[in-house]
Amino acid sequence: MTPNADIPTYDQFVFPLLQILARYPDGIRARDAYEAAADALGLTPEARAEVLPSGLQPIYQNRIGWAHDRLKRRGLSASPRRGEWKITEEALISLKPGGQIERWQRGRSRWHAGVRAGRGWRRRLKGVGRGGPGRCRGRGCG
């Protein structure tokens, strides 16, 4: 058994984290969200104790942080203040029966593919990123 095999990947934390954020529409402290998401997926105390190679952060918290990053890129979550996470109005609407989240859950492979790639966030930035205006790609840059 490899180390951290018992810890879900970040994409497995995405939907449980979104459900937790929906329970706290006024926002939740990140540290409380970490524990709630770990509880939702049944992480053992041993899994919670595993840390990154740097030794600075538990692996499960790192992965939940990445899950939150993907939700922010999709416009489903925000960080109004340092250490506080909040669901967006768009996400609350999408979580209603028949909403976009429910449709994504039915087609999980599309949801996970979009979350993993962070699809959509580049389109919202229009022109920023991959060779967009103001981006230097090496030789010939001012």
pLDDT tens digits, 39-49: 999 999 999 99
pLDDT for the residue numbered 38: 95
Residues 93, 99: Cα–Cα separation, whole Å:
7
Q: What are the tokens at 29? A: 């402290």
Of residues 116 and 38, the one with the higher pLDDT is 38
How high is the pLDDT of residue 95?
78
Q: Judge contact between 64 and 13, C-beta under 8 A.
A: yes
Residue 116 reports pLDDT greater than 70:
no
The pair phi, psi for residue 94, each rounded to 5°, is -70, -25
Query: Which residues, 6 or more positions from 87, have their beta carbon under 8 angstroms from its beta carbon?
Result: 18, 21, 22, 24, 25, 76, 77, 78
Per-residue confidence (pLDDT) for residue 91, from 0 to 100: 87
Say what the pLDDT of residue 96 is. 75
CA distances from 113 to 19, 70, 116 (A): 19, 11, 5
pLDDT the model gives residue 35: 96
pTM of the predicted structure, to 2 decimals: 0.68
Tens-place pLDDT, residues 42-100 = 999 999 999 999 999 999 999 999 999 999 998 999 999 999 999 999 888 877 776 66
Mean residue pLDDT across the chain: 78
Confirm if 45 and 21 have CB atoms less than 8 A apart.
no
